[in-house]
A and B are shown apart, each in its own frame.
Chain A
Amino acid sequence: MEKPKVKIDYKNAVISIRGLEKSFEDYAVLRGIDLDLYQGENLVVLGRSGTGKSVLIKLISGLLKPDKGTINVLGNDVTTISDKALQELRIRIGFSFQNSALYDSMTVRKNLEFPLVRNRKHITRPEIDTAVETVLDAVGLSQTINQMPAELSGGQRKRIGIARTLILNPEIMLYDEPTAGLDPITCIEINDLINEVQQRYNTSSIIITHDLTCAKMTGDRIAMLLDGQFQRTGSFDEVFDTTDNRVKPFFDYNFIQ
C-alpha cells in the first residue's frame, strides 16, 4: 500500500499555475488557484464532486479557456499559445479520462494506433506494431488487442485508456478520476499501474480523485481543493493532520484500510 520512492526534481516545475479563475455562468468554480507540479512528481488533487477538479485539468490541457490567470506547461503558456503550438504541446501530455473515452467504433489496436499514426507521419507499420505491443504489455492487456471497447470491463477500459496516452511517451500525465466506478481490487491495480507509469515512463502526473486510497497509494503530494481554492497542500498525513472542519469530514467519511 505504501508508495514506492521516486526521484523528484523540486527545482523544475513542469506545470506552473498562477491566479487561475474559471466560472460557469454565475458560479465561480476556481477562484485564484496557484499550483506547481514538479518533474517526476505525482500530485493528487483531492476534493468533493463539483469542486472543479476536472475543470482544472481540462484547463491545463487547453480543453477549456480560463477567465483569468496563467497556466505554464513545459515552458508554454496554454492561455496564450497558438492552436498549432497547443496541438504540438498536447502530444507531450497524456490525458486519461474518467470514462476512458475509448473510440467505440475502433478495436483496441486501432484505438492505440490512432494517436500514433496521426502524430508520427513517417512511422512504419513494424514500428506501430511494436509500440502497440509495448504499451499493451505495460498495462498487462496484450490479449485484448483485437477486442472492441464494448467487450472490455471497466478496469480494462481504464488500462487501455492509459495505454493510449502512453503510446506517445508523454512527459506529463493527467488522470481524471482513475478509480471511479471500479471495485476495490481493480482500484488497487489501477493505483499500482499509475505508480508503475511514473517510474517506467518518468512522467509527472496530476491525479484527480476523491478516493483517499488512491490518493495515499499514488500521491507524492496532496492538494485539497475546497471552495475553488487549494486549502491544504502537503503529504497525505500533513493534509489530514488537521482539525479544520472543512477537511476533516472528508477524511472521516473515507475509510482507509
Chain B
Amino acid sequence: MDNVSTPPPAKKTGSKFKKSLSDFFASLYNIHLFIVRFFKEAFVPPFELKEVVRQCYEVGVRSFTLITVTGFIVGVIFTKQSRPSLSTFGANSWLPSLVSIAIMRALAPLVTALIASGKVGSSIGAELGSMRVTEQIDAMEVSGTKPFKFLVCTRVLATTIAIPILATYTAFIGLLGGYLNVSFNEGTSYTTFMEQVFQPLVYLDFTSSLIKSIVFGFTIGIVGCYQGYYSTKGTEGVGKAANGAVVTAMFLVFIEEIIIVQITSNFR
C-alpha cells in the first residue's frame, strides 16, 4: 500500500550542506520511483484513452498560438541573422539548407520544449498542486479511483505524444518564416526553397529530432506531474510546484539536448 500523500522523507543529517545534499539525492530517488510507477501503471488496463486524448488536446491548445508565433519568428530571425555571414563567402544560396538543418536538428524540438515547459509544465504543476492541497487527489483515491493513473499517466502520455507533433508543426512554421524571408530578399521560388531545404537533410535528422521531442515531452510531463502531485504547504506549495515544474523541466531539456546531440553525432 502506497502512502499517497507525500514522497518518502529525506533522512536527517547534521549540517545544512549535508541536509541539502541528502534532500537532493532523496528527490532524485523519489523521481526515479515516480517514473517506475508511471511505467508500472500506464500500460496496464484499464487504459484512460479518453482522458489521454483530452489531455493531448489541452496540451496542443495551450501551446498552439505561442508556438505558431514563436516558430515563425525563430524562422525569420534565424534566416535574417545568418544571411550576412553567408554573404561574406558569397554563399547566400545555402541559406535554405542552413535554415532547414538548424530548425530540423535543433531549433524546432528545443523551442517547442521550452515553450511547452512554460505553458504546459507550469499548468500541470499548478493544476495537480492545487488538487493536492484541496484534497481532490485524496477524494479520488477514496472513491476507488487510482489518481496516479488518471491524473499523472494521462498527462505524461499526452505531453509525450503531443510535443513531437507540436515540434513538427514548429519546424513547418519556422521553415515558412524562413521561406518568406528568403523569398522577399533573394526572390527564391517555393519549389527551389523546398528542394534546398530537404537536400541536406538525412533520415537521422528526422529520427533524432523525433526522439528528442519524445524525450522532452516525457520530461515535461513527468516533472510537472511530480512537482504538482507531491505539492505541500497550501497555496504557497502550488506556486512552488508551478515554478519548480518550469525551472526543472527547462534545465533538464537543455541537459538532454546536449546528451542526445552527443549520441546522435556518433552516428553521422
Contact = CB atoms under 8 A, between A and B. Distances in A.
Interface residues of A, number: 32
Contacts of A164: 139, 143
A165 interface: yes
Given A63-B4, A65-B1, A168 B135 contact: no
Contact of A99 (B134, B140, B143): B134
B32 interface: no
Contact of B142 (A61, A81, A98, A102): A61
Given A101-B135, A101-B136, A101-B138, A65 B143 contact: no
Given A63-B5, A65-B1, A90 B144 contact: yes
A99 B4 CA distance: 19
A119 B145 CA distance: 8
Contacts of B130: 104
A32 interface: no
A170 to B, nearest CB: 10
A64 B143 contact: no
A188 interface: no
Nearest to A111: B139
Secondary structure at the A interface, as helix, strand, loop or mixed, is: loop
Nearest to B135: A101
Interface in B105-140: 130-131, 134-136, 138-140
B3 A165 contact: no
Nearest to B150: A118
B141 interface: yes
Contacts of B139: 95, 97, 101-103, 164
Contacts of B80: none
A63 B138 contact: yes
B138 A97 contact: yes
Interface in B140-156: 140-146
A62 interface: yes
Given A97-B135, A97-B138, A104-B130, A87 B4 contact: no
A118 B150 CA distance: 10
A88 B139 CA distance: 15
Given A64-B5, A81-B1, A104-B130, A91 B135 contact: no
B135 A99 contact: yes
Secondary structure at the B interface, as helix, strand, loop or mixed, is: loop
Contacts of A119: 143-145
Nearest to A87: B144
B197 to A, nearest CB: 42
B68 to A, nearest CB: 26
A74 interface: no
B142 A65 contact: no
Interface in B1-54: 1-5, 9
B144 A88 contact: yes
Interface residues of B, number: 20
Contacts, number: 72
A114 B143 contact: yes
B230 to A, nearest CB: 14
B142 A63 contact: yes
A118 B145 contact: yes
A64 B3 contact: yes
Interface in A49-92: 58, 61-65, 79, 81-83, 86-88, 90-91
A90 B134 contact: no
Nearest to B3: A65
Contacts of B140: 114
A93 interface: yes
Given A97-B138, A101-B136, A101-B139, A114 B145 contact: yes
A101 B134 contact: yes
A79 B1 CA distance: 8
A140 interface: no
A93 B144 CA distance: 9
B142 A90 contact: yes
A168 B4 CA distance: 22
A19 interface: no
B17 to A, nearest CB: 21
Nearest to A165: B143
B141 A91 contact: no
Contacts of A93: 142
Contacts of A165: 143
Contacts of B4: 63
A87 B139 CA distance: 12
A115 B143 contact: yes
Contacts of B1: 62, 65, 79, 81-83, 86
A200 B146 CA distance: 29
Question: Closest 4 A-B residue pairs measured CB to CB?
Answer: A101-B139, A115-B143, A101-B135, A95-B142
